[in-house]
Structure 1
Amino acid sequence: MAEGLISLRQQRDDLEETIEDIAHDYLSELVERCLVQVGRSGSTGTIKGCRIHDLVRDMCLLKAKEESFFQIKCSLQENTSSVAAEATQLRKIRRLAIYLDDENAYRLVSSRDETNGHVRSLLFFGPREWMPKSEKVLLSPLTNFKVLRVLKVERLWEREVELPSEIGNMVHLRFLSVRFSQIKTFPRSLGNLVCLQTLDFRVWYGDMVIPNVIMKMKQLRHLYLPREYRANGKLKLSTLGHLHTLDSLSTGYCDLKDVGRLTNLRKLKIRVSNSLQNLEEILKSTGSTLNRIRSLIVFVDNNSSEGQAMQIVSSCRGIYKLRLEGPIAELLKELHNYPNLTKVESRGRSHASSLSIEDASIWAKISY
C-alpha cells in the first residue's frame, strides 16, 4: 500500500471501502488460488499472518530478480571489488531487503550513491542469530535514497541505531518502522515526513522521548508508539483525521479529547496511567468516535485508575475484540453489554476466579 501498488476501486452500493479492505480482498484471492497460505487468522476471520510454499518462494524470487522488482542480500564478500560488483548489479533494483548477519552486508548501501536512485523500498533486519554487540549503526547513508517510500529498520536490538536529522529530507516516505530496534532518540526533522501513512515507533528502548511533531503527519493511517515513552508536554494528535490505528495512547502524555477528531479510528490501545480530569465530559464529546472502534486494548497501571478504565471501555460498545491488562476485575463483569464481542483477552491481576459471570458465552470468549 505504501508504494501505491494498490489503488481505490469505484465505490459499490454506497459502501465505505478503505484501501486496507481492498488489500485484504487481494490477499484473500491469492489464498483461494493457493499461492499464499494462511498462517494465522484473527477472531473476525481476518488474515493476521501468511506464508508461501518454498517452491513458490523460489519462483517469486527468481522472477523478481529477472524483472528488477525485488532482491534479498544476506551478506557480501569482504573485498571491495566484490562489493562494487554487487552494487553494480543492484542499480535497477527497486526493492531491497538486507539481513545484517555480518559487517559486510551494511556496506552495500554506502558503497555507491548512484546505485540508490531507483530504490523504493529498503528493509533492514537484524541478525537471525545472536551476535556480539558492536558500535552503533549510523543510518546516514540512507539519506542518499531520495525516492524511498518504505524504510524498515527492525530487530536491531544488539546495536544502538541512530537516525540522522537528514531523514527529514526523505519526503516521499510512506512507511517508516524501527520496531524492536534499539533507538533512544528521534530527530524533530521527522515532522517533515508529511506523506507518511504508517509510523511504527515500537522500539526496544523503554524510555523513549517522542518529539511533538506527529501532528504534522496528516496522512497517517497507522501510528504505533512505544509501550512506555515520554514527551515534552502533550502529544497533539487531533490533526490525524485519517488515522485507523492508534497504539499506544498514554493518558499521561496524550490528550484523550483528541480522539474525538479521529473519526476513522478503528483500533485503539490506551494506557491509563494517571487520573483524568472531567472524564465524563471528554467521553461525551468523543462518544461517536469511540463507538466506531472495533479493537480495543486497555492497560491499567494501578488500582486507582480501574474505575476510569471502566468508563472508557463502556463508551466503546461496538468493539469486536477487547484486551484488558492490569487490575481489571470489575471490567470483566460488564462483558454482556457488548453484543459484537468475539474475543476477550485478560492479562494481569484480573482476579477472574472471584467473578460471577452468569452468561457462559462470555466465559467462552475470555482467554488468559
Structure 2
Amino acid sequence: MAEAAVNHVLRKLSDALVDKAQELSQVSGQIKQMQMELRLIQALLRDADSKSNRDERVREWLNLVREIANRIEDVIDTFLVEIQENCPKSCCWFPIPSCLDCNTLPTVVRNPIKMNKLSGKLNQITQELKLIYQRKNDLGIMVLGAGSEENDQPFRPTKPSDIKESEVVGLEAAKCEIIKQLLDKNELRRTVLSIVGTGGIGKTTLAQNVYKSAELVGQFDCCIWLSISQKYIINDLLREFSNSIEPGMGNQESPVTDEDVLAKLKSSLGPKRYLIILDDVWTIDLWDRLNILLPDMNNASRVIITTRLVYVAKRADRNTEPYMLGYLNDDDSLALLFRKAFQKHIEPENYPRNLLGVAKKLMKKCDGLPLALVVLGGILTTEELTYSAWSKLEETMDWHDNDGRKCSRVLAMSYEHLPFYLKPCFLYFASFPEDYRISAKHVTRMWVAEEFIPKDGSGTMEDRAEKFLQELVRRCLIQVTKKSWNGSCKYCNIHDLLRDLAIHKAKEDNFFTIFSKGEDVNHLATKKPRRAALQFCTPTEDGIYSDNTCSLLCFGLQEKSTNDSGFRLLNYSGFRLLRVLTIERVDTREFAGSDWLNGLIHLRYLGLRYCTIRQEIFKKISLYNLETIDLKETNILLNKQETTDWSDVVVPTLRHLFGRLNVGQCFPLKWDHYTNLQTLKYVDKGAVPRLGCCINLRTLGIYYPFDFQNQREFSHPEEWQTLKGVLTRTEQLASLSIIANQHEGYFIPFGGTRDLPCHEKIQSLYLKGEWAKDMWLPSVEMFPTNLTKLVLEFTRLEKDPMPILESLQSLRILRLLSYSYLGSKFICSTGGFPNLEKLQLEDLPKLSHWDLKEGAMPILRHLKLQHCGELWTLPELPNVQIESHALWS
C-alpha cells in the first residue's frame, strides 16, 4: 500500500505544479525537492514490501512512508481548499479556480504568513523524507533491478474466464444427494436440509448449483434465495424476503413487519410448493424468527440452509440429518487447482507433466480447502507456465501461521501478490457490509474518484477501472454474481474470509476504518481514519467529523435520538478533504439544515442511493470537481415554489448523473456545457434540445411526462425528430432508454433508430410507453442492428412481436414487461432468437399459448415468468433455469 500511496501523491504533485503553477510558484522549489526524495524512496518500495512479512522494522518503515505520503496530499489539498474559499464566486470554474480571469490571486496566495506556513510544512516533510531514506542501509533495503517483479509490468487486460458458474469440483455426489432429498415424493412435510461446514468449504457454491440445477425446473411453484449475514438487520432481511415474494413490496417507505411478511406469504404462497434457500445462517434466534413465516402445508415444500454451526442445523430440523461438507481429496484438489490456474477444464491425463510435481506440493498446502485452492489458482494465472515460476512460488512463501491455519496464509499471499495498483482497489471492498450486493459501476466510479485509476491510457478511466475489476475477478478475489447486457460485471461480491482479510489489511494500513452497529461514531475524529465506513451506526446530533478523512461511506444509518430539530450527519468544516461520500437508505429530511453538503469542494463522487432528499441541498454545494451523482432509487422532493435561477450553476467535470425520472429536474443546468458527460438518466424531454454538445454520451435516458394541462403526452413526431437531431452527434451512445407516462392512449415517439449515426452502436434499448399505431409499425429495421438487450413495457402491442424480434441476430436479453403485449399467443419459428440467453415475461394478462418450434432459442439458459395468469403450460425447455413468481396468479 505504501507504493500505491507514493505513486498517487507523486501524480498529484505533478498535476498541482501544472494546474496551479502561479498559485504555487512561491513553494515550487520545495515541492520539486519533495518529489525527488519521494522518487528515491519509491525505488526501494518493491524490496521493502517483499521483506515486510519477515521483518517488523521494515513493516514499520513502510507505514511511515505511507503516512507521510498521506500527509503531503493533505497539505496540498488543504491549500487548494483555502484558495477556493478566498476566490470570488464569479471565478469558480474547473477544476479549482485560479482567479486569473480577474487578474488577481486569491488572498491566501498574497498572504506572506500563510505562504511561509505552507513553506515550513513542506520543508519539514522533506527533512523527514531524507531521514526515512537514510534508514535503508540499516534495514537492508535496496533498489531492485528493473523488471524483476511482476509489479514492474504494465497492466495487461485479460479475457474473462469462460468457466461456467455451474461447474463444480468434488461436489457432484453431494449435489445429487441433496436434489434427491428435495424431490422425495414420499416426504410431504416441509423438510429443512442443512449444509454444514467450515468457511471456504463450498457450502454456498453447492447450494447455488442445487438451486440452478435443471432437475428442479418446474418442480416448485416458488423459489427464493436469501443471503444472511453474521451481522444482519432483521427489518432489512424481512424487506428483502417480502420483495422476493412480490417485487416492489420491499420498496415501500413504511417498515416491513413480521405481520406484513406473514400476510404476504399466506396470500402469495398459499398452498403452493416452495423452495427457500437461507444462505449463511449464524444463530438459532434468526432461524426461529424465520421459521414461523414458512408455512408447512404438507405439500413437500423444502428449505435449505447453509451454516458453519451444527447446532443451528439440528435446531432447524431434528428429523433430517445435516449434510456435513468435508475437505476435498487430493484428486479433486488437484483438478480444482489446474482448472483455476488455466481458466479451463483439464482432464487428468492432460495435466502438464512439467508442472504436475510442483502442483501437488502447492495443492497439499491448501489442505483440501476449496477457497484456498481457488485463490491459489488465481495467483498462478499471473505466473508463467513453467516449473521454475511455480516452484519459486512454492519455495519462497511462508505458509505457516502462528495459529496453525494455513488457509489464512494462502489468502494473505493472494493480497501480497497483487500489483501495487490493485491493492487499494481490493481493500475498497472492506467498506461494504457483509453479503452486500456490490454494483460494479458503483465501486469502479469510486475508484476513479479516489484517483486509483491512472489518467493516461487508452479508453476512459471508467474503462480502465472495469479492467482492474476484471483482473481481481481473474485472480479469484472477487466473484461476479450478475453480468450486464454487454457481458461485463454488473454485480459482484466478496467471500466472507476474503472480506475479513480486506478488513484486516485496511485497518493495518489505515486505509479504511469500519464502524459497525453499536459502535460510537464520535471516535471518528479521534481515530483520524483515512477512509471511514459506517455500517448501520447511529449519527450524533452534533454531527461527525474528521479533518483528514477523504472518503465516507454510510450504509443504513439507524434511528436518530429523540431530538425534534433533527441531527446533522456531517460537520462539513471537518470534512473539507472529502472526495467520496455515499449514503444509503436514509431519509435526509431528518438532517438539520439544508447546507450539510456545503464546503465539500474536493467531492468527486456523491451517492445518495435509496434515500429521500430535498432538492435544495444541491443549491449550496460546491460542484467544481464533482464527477458522479448517483441517485439510484432516490426519492427527490422538488420545491414547487422554487424561484432561484440556476442558470449560472455549472458542474464542469460531471461525467455521470442518474436516478429516478425526476433527477433531471433537480439540476436545471446548461446541459450544452457538459462535453464530458457519459451517463445521463433520466432527463426531461424539455432538456433534449440542449444536449447537442454532450458528444461523449454512452448512456441516455429520456422521460416524456404527461402534459396534464393540454391532456396530451406530446405533439406527434416532431419531438422524435428533435431527439434524432441531438443524437446525430452522440456517436458513442450504447444504451438508450425512452420512457413515457403509461396513460392509455398516449404514445411514445419512437420511430426507430435506423436513421441515427449511432444505429449500429446502440446495444441496449428500453422503451416504456404505447406506440402510436397509425404512425409506427414494428419492423426489424427500426431496431439497432447490433442490439444485445431489449426491454419493452406498456407498449400495448396487439400483434405478436416474436416474428420480428427473433430476427435480431445479436439479441441476448429480452424482457417483455407489463402490458408490452396484449395478444394471447407467441410463435417462435425454427432458427429464431439464435443468441438469446435470457428471457423475461411479466404481466402479460392475455398470453395463454407459447408455440416454440424446434431449433428456436437454441442457447436460452434463463427464463423468468411472473404474473402470466393464462399461461398454464410451457414449451419443452431443456437445460433452462426457470424462475417463476406467482406464475398462476
Name the TM-score class by shorter chain: 0.7 to 0.9
Q: Deviation string for 1:92-115 (max 9, x for gaps)?
A: x111111234xxx3139836x5xx
Distance 1:98-1:307 versus aligned 2 partners, 3 A rule: closer
Q: What is aligned with 1:245?
A: 679
Distance in 1 of aligned mates of 2:494 and 2:745: 48
Distance in 1 of aligned mates of 2:560 and 2:797: 41
Task: Please give the secondary structure, in 1, of the residue aligned with 2:571.
Answer: helix
Distance 1:208-1:133 versus aligned 2 partners, 3 A rule: farther
**Deviation for aligned residue 1:176:** 0.8
Q: What is aligned with 2:789?
A: 343
Task: Please give the secondary structure, in 1, of the residue aligned with 2:624.
Answer: coil
**Deviation for aligned residue 1:44:** 1.0
Q: Deviation string for 1:143-196 (max 9, x for gaps)?
A: 420100011121114964466326231100001122211112323544521100
Distance 1:46-1:141 versus aligned 2 partners, 3 A rule: same
The answer to whether structure 1 residue 333 and structure 2 residue 778 are counterparts is: yes
**1:97 equivalent among 504, 526, 533:** 533
Q: Deviation string for 1:172-231 (max 9, x for gaps)?
A: 000112221111232354452110000123464354349736951010010124323685
- Look up the equivalent residue of 1:199 and give its one-letter code: I
- Look up the equivalent residue of 2:747 and give its one-letter code: E
**Deviation for aligned residue 1:282:** 2.9
Distance in 1 of aligned mates of 2:752 and 2:807: 23
Distance in 1 of aligned mates of 2:511 and 2:604: 18
- Look up the equivalent residue of 2:455 and give its one-letter code: L
- Which of the two has higher C-alpha Rg? 2
Distance in 2 of aligned mates of 1:338 and 1:265: 17
**1:367 equivalent among 800, 809, 815:** 815
Distance in 2 of aligned mates of 1:124 and 1:228: 24
Q: What is aligned with 1:72?
A: 514
Q: What is aligned with 1:275?
A: 714
Q: What is aligned with 1:293?
A: 733
Consecutive unaligned residues in structure 2, runs of 5 or more: 1-447, 706-712, 817-889
**Deviation for aligned residue 1:292:** 2.7
Q: What is aligned with 2:747?
A: 306
Task: Please give the secondary structure, in 2, of the residue aligned with 1:107.
Answer: coil
Q: What is aligned with 1:28?
A: 470
Task: Please give the secondary structure, in 2, of the residue aligned with 1:62.
Answer: helix
- Look up the equivalent residue of 2:762 and give its one-letter code: I
Task: Please give the secondary structure, in 1, of the residue aligned with 2:487.
Answer: coil
Distance 1:162-1:2 versus aligned 2 partners, 3 A rule: farther
Determine if contact 1:134/1:159 at 8 Å carries over to the other structure.
no
Determine if contact 2:584/2:608 at 8 Å carries over to the other structure.
yes
Q: Deviation string for 1:10-41 (max 9, x for gaps)?
A: 44xxxxx1001100111111111101111110
**Deviation for aligned residue 1:324:** 1.4
Consecutive unaligned residues in structure 1, runs of 5 or more: 12-16
Scaled by the length of structure 2, what TM-score is found? 0.36
Q: Deviation string for 1:58-93 (max 9, x for gaps)?
A: 00100000100002112345xxxx766x346521x1
Task: Please give the secondary structure, in 2, of the residue aligned with 1:59.
Answer: helix
- Look up the equivalent residue of 2:700 and give its one-letter code: L
Distance in 2 of aligned mates of 1:246 and 1:161: 28
Distance in 2 of aligned mates of 1:162 and 1:257: 38
Task: Map residues 1-368 of structure 1 onto 2, 5 A cutoff.
Answer: 1-11=448-458, 17-76=459-518, 86-87=523-524, 90-91=527-528, 93-101=529-537, 105-107=538-540, 110=543, 113=545, 116-126=546-556, 136-157=566-587, 160-161=590-591, 164-165=594-595, 167-187=597-617, 189-190=619-620, 192-202=622-632, 204-205=634-635, 207-209=637-639, 212=646, 216-228=650-662, 231=665, 235-251=669-685, 254-273=686-705, 274-275=713-714, 278-279=718-719, 282-283=722-723, 285-301=725-741, 302=743, 306=747, 308-310=749-751, 315=756, 316-317=758-759, 318-328=761-771, 333-336=778-781, 337-351=783-797, 354-355=800-801, 357-358=803-804, 360-362=806-808, 365-368=813-816
Q: What is aligned with 1:14?
A: none
Of the structure 1 ranges 197-206 and 47-56, higher mean CA displacement relative to structure 2 is found in 197-206
Distance in 2 of aligned mates of 1:43 and 1:229: 24
Of the structure 1 ranges 265-274 and 179-188, higher mean CA displacement relative to structure 2 is found in 179-188
Distance in 1 of aligned mates of 2:449 and 2:815: 34
Task: Please give the secondary structure, in 2, of the residue aligned with 1:177.
Answer: strand
Distance 1:146-1:234 versus aligned 2 partners, 3 A rule: closer
**Deviation for aligned residue 1:329:** 7.5
Distance in 1 of aligned mates of 2:649 and 2:777: 35
Distance in 1 of aligned mates of 2:733 and 2:471: 27
Distance in 2 of aligned mates of 1:194 and 1:167: 13
Task: Please give the secondary structure, in 2, of the residue aligned with 1:167.
Answer: coil
Distance in 2 of aligned mates of 1:72 and 1:349: 47
Distance 1:354-1:8 versus aligned 2 partners, 3 A rule: same
**Deviation for aligned residue 1:348:** 2.5
Task: Please give the secondary structure, in 2, of the residue aligned with 1:265.
Answer: coil
- Look up the equivalent residue of 1:297 and give its one-letter code: S
Aligned length: 348
Determine if contact 2:780/2:807 at 8 Å carries over to the other structure.
no
- Look up the equivalent residue of 1:183 and give its one-letter code: I
Q: Deviation string for 1:114-167 (max 9, x for gaps)?
A: xx1111110112159x99998544335244201000111211149644663262
Distance in 2 of aligned mates of 1:133 and 1:328: 52
Identity of matched residues, % = 26
Task: Please give the secondary structure, in 1, of the residue aligned with 2:796.
Answer: coil
Task: Please give the secondary structure, in 2, of the residue aligned with 1:176.
Answer: strand
Q: What is aligned with 2:319?
A: none
**Deviation for aligned residue 1:56:** 0.7
Distance 1:56-1:352 versus aligned 2 partners, 3 A rule: farther
Distance in 2 of aligned mates of 1:182 and 1:233: 16
Question: Which of the pair is proportionally richer in strand?
Answer: 1
Task: Please give the secondary structure, in 2, of the residue aligned with 1:183.
Answer: strand
Question: Which of the pair is proportionally richer in helix?
Answer: 2
- Look up the equivalent residue of 2:806 and give its one-letter code: A
Determine if contact 2:663/2:683 at 8 Å carries over to the other structure.
no
**Deviation for aligned residue 1:262:** 0.1
Distance in 1 of aligned mates of 2:549 and 2:806: 55
- Look up the equivalent residue of 2:784 and give its one-letter code: Y
Distance in 1 of aligned mates of 2:526 and 2:631: 33
Determine if contact 1:140/1:164 at 8 Å carries over to the other structure.
no
Determine if contact 2:610/2:634 at 8 Å carries over to the other structure.
yes
Distance 1:40-1:131 versus aligned 2 partners, 3 A rule: farther
Distance 1:364-1:117 versus aligned 2 partners, 3 A rule: closer
Distance 1:63-1:163 versus aligned 2 partners, 3 A rule: farther
- Look up the equivalent residue of 2:676 and give its one-letter code: H
Distance in 2 of aligned mates of 1:163 and 1:224: 25
Q: Deviation string for 1:251-278 (max 9, x for gaps)?
A: 1xx4212221101000011112242695
